[in-house]
Amino acid sequence: MSTTPPARTTDSRRARPGQLLPPWTFAGLAVAVIAILAIAFFTYRALLLREAAVRRISQTMQTLQQLEMLLSSVQDAETGQRGFLITRDERYLEPYTNASAALPNELATLRSLVADAPELPAPAQLFSCTMKFPLGHVTKKS
């Protein structure tokens, strides 16, 4: 009986001479690397979007704070105006004069905060126009 060497079978799962990895392992590694790169890209993009959202939220908070300061000044002016009109005592004009002096700066600050939002300056302009009328009625006639 003659012994014949076993026939060589080509197994695609084994590395060929000169190859470091079998083809299926290399394909799996390539898919994993592509998946990691995609995850890194989407994570970076989400980080950029989050930073933009944080900037918008911060600007909105500053705008709200400025609106609150503006409202407080208007209320002070109205209170001083009302006190003076009722009593004709000039001591009540102090909040009015302080608020009247602060209002232009506060409005300018508000306008600068909403300058890059085209839908917001219209309400700021309307607020500016409506404030000129009620605060202009104080006269110091005794």
**How many angstroms separate the CA atoms of 94 and 100, rounded?**
10
Confidence (pTM)? 0.62
Place of tokens 């009986």: 1
Closest CA to 129 of 138, 140, 119, 121: 121
Residue 142: the pLDDT is 47
Residues 138/93, Cβ–Cβ less than 8 Å: yes
Residue 38: the pLDDT is 98
Task: Outline where the chain has alpha helix (H).
Answer: 23-87, 93-113, 121-132
- 40-49, 97-106, 112-121: range with highest mean pLDDT: 40-49
